[in-house]
Amino acid sequence: MSRIGKKPIAIPNGVQVTVSGQTVTVKGPKGQLAWTVADEIEVKQEEGQIVLSVRGEGPRAQAMWGLSRTLVNNMIVGVTQGYERTLELVGVGY
């Protein structure tokens, strides 16, 4: 059993999540993201949270379960907070 995959994902205020078959669409103040989940994974939206469960058995299904949960959570973070990378340039090398 995946330790990461079994945790539900809370949906914050201001974020709309739509589950249509295997496609998860997340819309928030910073944009919209969509992703198609693997066939081994089932996605359900219930009471302000998203729950992922595994359909098949085997190591690939378990790995996809944790990966899918992490990617959907990252989508929610991306549309609410966004991502920022600070790059520091030091000298020119001469």
Instruction: State which amino acid sits at residue 76.
Output: I
The model's pTM: 0.85
pLDDT at 92 over 90: no
Domain ranges of the chain: 9-80
What's the pLDDT at 41?
Answer: 93
Structure confidence by residue, pLDDT tens digits, 47-82: 899 999 998 888 899 889 999 999 999 999 999 998
Q: Establish how many alpha carbons lie within 13 A of residue 55's alpha carbon, considering only the half-sphere containing its beta carbon.
A: 10
Res. 2 pLDDT band, cuts 50 70 90: confident
Structure confidence by residue, pLDDT tens digits, 17-49: 999 999 999 999 999 999 999 999 999 999 899
Rg for the chain, CA atoms, rounded: 16
From the list 86, 92, 50, 87, the residue with the least C-alpha distance to 68 is 50
The reply to whether CATH 3.40.710.10 applies to domain 9-80 is no
CA 29/CA 82 separation, integer angstroms? 10
Strand 41-46: give its sheet, edge to edge. 9-10, 49-54, 41-46
